[in-house]
Amino acid sequence: MIRFIHAADMHFDSPFAGLPQSVARVRKEEQKRTFMRIIEATREKKADMLLLAGDIFDSGFVSRDTVSFLKQCFSEIEDTAVFVVPGNHDFLHADSPYKTVDFGRNVHIFGEEPETYQVREATVYGFGFSQRYISESILPRVGMHQEEGPGILLVHGEVGYESDYHPISVGAIAESGLSYVALGHIHDYSGILYAGETAYAYPGVPEKRHFDEAGIGGYIYGEIDGERANYEFVPVGQRDNVTIHVDISGVSSLDAVEDKIRNLLEKQNLYKVVLQGEVPPTMFIDTKALAKRLEGDCLYIKIKDETAPMREEEASLLEKLFVARLSERDDDAAKEAMRLGLEALRRQKR
């Protein structure tokens, strides 16, 4: 039986643009801890190989700390063959760490031309990017897998349509004779897909970085035993980037908006909150102040105001509701609040 773990698109040294520096530092450390979980799983499963399908780095220029971290990780699984293909973000060039760093005797970096390695009864094929864009498919150069035992292809690219990021046709996968194609580039888990008898999949980003990378990331664990195979997605990410749309129609105070949002938050996540609905024309929503009041309820929150003012007839109804609510009280403070409130509502209408 061949056991492997397939991960991709770690994007180490990402700037985490748009986040405060303090939060970005936390996220960079969590990125590393998530990768350590993948290394731990590789060791615990006694995987024969760790397949890293490109964009390990966010660019070709990498910090010394990141290089040292990866060397340490790979040294902890020295009995596992680690295969890496450069992607479009970390493509091969003269100063690339893939060219200048010795990551360990168990680590194999694929070049721009197809190469082949044998791991027990399995044959591993792979090739990487040597420039940011590759508009032709290199897969035909691999040829049809005809060896004994399973064939596994490690590649960074896009399946199913024309692309500048190494296009791969479903038909070519179906005709490859391979058991599994380990893909990188798409940042969401694809599910386990099939072209003919060949399985292929994107594991997605293990630790999601932006609000367009939602969900908990992970890796794929695979076992191939003769004609039988099993593939499983394993969540490993620590946080989710959540976008929520909140309708605040009928809410007339910032406190009420705050309470409505707070009920939707979970401590560990990052949030983009989009406020929608119709609000009183006198209501000013200070999104920065509101986010500040909620920042202790999650790691990070940003708020966007997409509300619209009520129509005039609805604002008149609001006056009636306002008066009715304060009329329930018979004290000087309530009367003064009513006077000031009505003045504000009518001033807005003028």
Q: What is the CATH classification number for the domain harbouring 178?
A: 3.60.21.10
In this structure, the answer to whether residues 206 and 244 fall within a common structural domain is no
Q: What is the reported pLDDT for 307?
A: 94
In this structure, the answer to whether residues 192 and 332 fall within a common structural domain is no
Tokens of 233: 């997605």
In this structure, the answer to whether residues 50 and 85 fall within a common structural domain is yes
In this structure, the answer to whether residues 147 and 42 fall within a common structural domain is yes
pLDDT band at 162 (very low <50, low <70, confident <90, very high): confident
Alpha helices in the chain (DSSP H): 21-44, 64-75, 97-100, 139-142, 170-174, 254-262, 287-294, 312-326, 332-349
Last residue of one domain, picked from the residues 182, 211, 235 = 235
Q: What is the reported pLDDT for 46?
A: 97
In this structure, the answer to whether residues 217 and 90 fall within a common structural domain is yes
CA 101 to CA 90: how far, in whole Å? 14
Residue span of the structural domain in which 115 resides = 2-235
Q: What is the mean pLDDT of residues 222-242?
A: 96
In this structure, the answer to whether residues 133 and 214 fall within a common structural domain is yes
Number of domains in the chain: 3
In this structure, the answer to whether residues 93 and 140 fall within a common structural domain is yes
What's this model's pTM, rounded to 2 decimal places?
0.86
Q: What is the reported pLDDT for 44?
A: 97
Last residue of one domain, picked from the residues 235, 255, 285 = 235
In this structure, the answer to whether residues 152 and 296 fall within a common structural domain is no
CA-CA-CA-CA dihedral for 189, 195, 197, 199, to nearest 10 = -20
pLDDT averaged over the chain?
90
Among the residue ranges 2-6, 268-272, 281-285, the one predicted with the least confidence is 281-285
CA 263 to CA 266: how far, in whole Å? 9
In this structure, the answer to whether residues 153 and 294 fall within a common structural domain is no
Contact 237, 216 (CB under 8 A): yes
pLDDT band at 138 (very low <50, low <70, confident <90, very high): confident
In this structure, the answer to whether residues 94 and 209 fall within a common structural domain is yes
pLDDT band at 254 (very low <50, low <70, confident <90, very high): confident
Last residue of one domain, picked from the residues 191, 220, 235 = 235
* Residue reference for tokens 């035992």: 149
In this structure, the answer to whether residues 31 and 61 fall within a common structural domain is yes
Cα angle value 144/146/147 (rounded, 5°): 135
In this structure, the answer to whether residues 107 and 158 fall within a common structural domain is yes
Contact 126, 139 (CB under 8 A): no
Q: What is the reported pLDDT for 60?
A: 80
Alpha carbon distance, N-terminus to C-terminus of the chain = 78
